[in-house]
Chains A and B, each alone.
Chain A
Amino acid sequence: DAMVIQNPRYQVTQFGKPVTLSCSQTLNHNVMYWYQQKSSQAPKLLFHYYDKDFNNEADTPDNFQSRRPNTSFCFLDIRSPGLGDAAMYLCATKTANTEAFFGQGTRLTVV
């Protein structure tokens, strides 16, 4: 039944070692979002895709990249994770007439 699926649920990576988080959806929504959520804070939008059009938030660090090879999949790449990048990363999807649907999130730990 899961409609927005994030893998893995928990990811541990080493300081400076590239890491990729993935998100897939079965809803065929044309918009996909990546949010970063630090402890006890609201989700912060990193970027989103409208179809293949990539929209980066102005304050998203260059260390964060994204790929969307097709409608169903979207990836978040962190090129050189720092301790400050430890957070929950949330993927969400939307279409024009619906609310946003969120995945379960990936908890990233940087050691």
Chain B
Amino acid sequence: GNSVTQMEGPVTLSEEAFLTINCTYTATGYPSLFWYVQYPGEGLQLLLKATKADDKGSNKGFEATYRKETTSFHLEKGSVQVSDSAVYFCALSLPSGYSTLTFGKGTMLLVSP
């Protein structure tokens, strides 16, 4: 079956530190890959996505590259801010247009001033 594995948190960083959150996946076919962010008490917001191998998704200083050879989609940011503190979910969906999302367990990021 399809699955997503994320590094466990919490990840605790100081402001302006470099962030990496690892995500690997298992899927039949060639999935689309997503990072969603959830701020406390809120729903999920799409942060970035990539639909095919070697695509790089980017948004708000965050980046992730779809690596088919390593089945990975690691999230990176060069300089985190306190406002980036949230839970980050890696997810995949299969190419079929109406495929449901498979989520990882989420990684909490805590950024201190």
Chain A residues with CB under 8 Å of chain B are 4, 6, 31, 33, 40-43, 45, 48, 50, 90, 92, 94-97, 99-105, 107
Contact = CB atoms under 8 A, between A and B. Distances in A.
B43 A100 contact: no
A90 B87 CA distance: 15
A42 B42 contact: no
Interface of B: 32, 34, 36, 41-46, 49, 89, 93, 97-98, 100-101, 103-106, 108
B43 A42 contact: no
A96 B43 contact: no
Contacts of B101: 43, 45, 100
Q: Which of A97, A99, A103, A105 has the most CB of B within 10 A?
A: A99
Contacts of B105: 41-42
